[in-house]
Structure 1
Amino acid sequence: MRDFHVHSNYSDGGFLRGMVRAAESAGLEGVGVADHCNVASRGRPESMRSLYGFNLDLTYERRRRGIERLREEFDLEVYDAVEMDYDPRDEDAIDAFLAEANFDYAIGSVHDIGGNNVQVASNFAAMSDAERDAVTDEYFETLIELVESELFDIAAHADLLERTPPLRGRATEEQYRQVAQAFADSRTVPEINAGRALTDAEVVHPSERLLSILREHDVAVTVGTDSHRPSEIPDRADFLADFVAETGLEPVGPAGLE
């Protein structure tokens, strides 16, 4: 069992050593430290980058030195990765940064639509159904652009809207089929993401409906706990191990490790 998606204090997670120690204690063979990064120069993304510290482009070399020391100390693989915020307008900047940094692999995520974080329910509570449907449309259009860009080895939480009550359940089968076809035609693979699986919401990404369509298209998947604290890793890793066993999935590693 390998976990390809955890965060450290180089973005919004726990201390790097503590995250790796927790992964080893959980019996994992490998853990991928994929801290958030946003390289957009526009106003709002730039302010969010400063507020949350999603600036791995400035700190990845220092983190890499830390990862190299931890590889010597702990008996598991420690991967040097990144989770990039994706917006089509930033493709050139993302491409240049990934080429410069040469991570073991890169994760791409769509978190923001129309200036709103899609995980924050209050952003959409006052919207009409038509406005929420428009957000859903734009989310999946952007996700497909992410996949087709071929910039990333993994696409994180491919139906992130399911975390957000005003947007949950609004995706259509046609949208899911378009996403599945994009993955089938790309090197980018979606992940089974356990970031909300053990909460009251019990949300697993991708949802059963999307996962079924991905399997129809023979799309491979990888796995990530999306842990931000050491204490989250063991239970989420156990959940993922049980999930892939029950569903008969055989997760793959990111293409960047091949």
Structure 2
Amino acid sequence: MRDFHVHSNYSDGDFLGSMVRAAEAAGLEGVGVADHCNVASRESPEAMRGLYGFNLDLTYERRRQGIERVRESAEIAVYDAVELDYDPRDEDAIDAFLAEAAFDYAIGSVHEVGGDNVQIASHFADLTEAERDAVVDDYFDQLVALVESELFEIAAHADLVERTPPLRGRATEDHYRRVAQAFADSRTIPEINAGRALTEADIVHPSEQFLTVLREHDVSVTVGTDSHRPDEIPDRADFLEGFVDETGLEPVVPDGLER
């Protein structure tokens, strides 16, 4: 059992060493530190980086030094990864940054549609039903573009709109089939993400319907707890282990890592 999606203090998680020790204590064989990063040069993303301090594009070398130090004492594999915000307009910048930084693997995420974070319900509360449906359409258009870009080994929480009440339940089987076909034709693989699985929301990404469609297209998956604190890792890892056993899945590791 390896967890390919945790965060550290280099974005919005706890201290790097604490996250790795928690993964080790949870009995994992490996953990991937995939901090948030955005390399867009537009005004809005730059303002958000300043607000939240997601500056891994400036600090990845320092974090890599920290990962190397942690690896010296860790008894599990520790991967140097990144979770990058994806917008089709940023493909060239993303490609250049990934080539320069040479992470062990990269996770791509669609977090925004039209400049609005799809996890913030207030952005969509006053929209009409048709406008909300259009947001979901745009989300899946961007997700397909992310997969087809071939920039990433992993696509995170591939139905993130399910976290947001005004957008929840609006995805259709047609959306899922488009994305599943894109995954089937790409090296990028989706993750089973437990970031909201043990909350009141009780959401596993992908949803049961989406996962069924992915399996019909013979799409491989990987797993990630999406943990931000050490105490989240053990319960989420246990959940994922039970989930893949129950569903009969055999998660794979990202391209380029040892099997």
Give TM-score, length-normalised by structure 1.
0.99
Provide, for residues 63-108 of structure 1, a one-character-per-residue CA deviation record: whole Å limited to 9, x for no partner: 0011011111110000000000000000000000000000000000
Find the residue that maps to 2:231 and give its secondary structure: helix
TM-fit CA distance, 1:150: 0.1
- The separation in 1 between residues aligned to 2:256 and 2:228, in whole angstroms, is 23
TM-fit CA distance, 1:256: 3.1
The match for 2:2 is 2
Letter in 2 for 1:74: A
Provide, for residues 26-80 of structure 1, a one-character-per-residue CA deviation record: whole Å limited to 9, x for no partner: 0000000000000011111111111111111100000001101111111000000
Mapping of residues 105-184 of structure 1, within 5 Å: 105-184=105-184
The match for 1:249 is 249
Letter in 2 for 1:13: G
- The separation in 2 between residues aligned to 1:257 and 1:114, in whole angstroms, is 35
- The separation in 2 between residues aligned to 1:209 and 1:187, in whole angstroms, is 22
The match for 1:48 is 48
The match for 1:215 is 215
- The separation in 2 between residues aligned to 1:50 and 1:204, in whole angstroms, is 31
The match for 1:72 is 72
Find the residue that maps to 2:191 and give its secondary structure: strand
- The separation in 2 between residues aligned to 1:103 and 1:150, in whole angstroms, is 15
- The separation in 2 between residues aligned to 1:243 and 1:31, in whole angstroms, is 18
Mapping of residues 181-220 of structure 1, within 5 Å: 181-220=181-220
Provide, for residues 144-179 of structure 1, a one-character-per-residue CA deviation record: whole Å limited to 9, x for no partner: 000000000000000000000100010111110000
**Aligned residues: percent identity?**
80
Letter in 1 for 2:45: P
Provide, for residues 113-164 of structure 1, a one-character-per-residue CA deviation record: whole Å limited to 9, x for no partner: 0111000011111100000011000000000000000000000000000000
CA RMSD of aligned residues (A): 0.6
Is 1:231 the counterpart of 2:207? The answer is no
Q: Which runs of 5+ in 1 are unaligned?
A: none
- The separation in 2 between residues aligned to 1:116 and 1:155, in whole angstroms, is 19
Q: Which runs of 5+ in 2 are unaligned?
A: none
The match for 1:104 is 104
Find the residue that maps to 1:106 and give its secondary structure: strand
- The separation in 2 between residues aligned to 1:251 and 1:138, in whole angstroms, is 29
Which stretches of structure 1, 4 residues or more, deviate above 2 A after TM superposition?
Answer: none
Find the residue that maps to 1:230 and give its secondary structure: coil
- The separation in 2 between residues aligned to 1:114 and 1:99, in whole angstroms, is 27
- The separation in 1 between residues aligned to 2:157 and 2:41, in whole angstroms, is 24
Letter in 1 for 2:56: L
Provide, for residues 223-249 of structure 1, a one-character-per-residue CA deviation record: whole Å limited to 9, x for no partner: 000000001000000000000000000
The match for 2:28 is 28
Letter in 2 for 1:122: S
Give TM-score, length-normalised by structure 2.
0.99
Is 1:87 the counterpart of 2:69? The answer is no
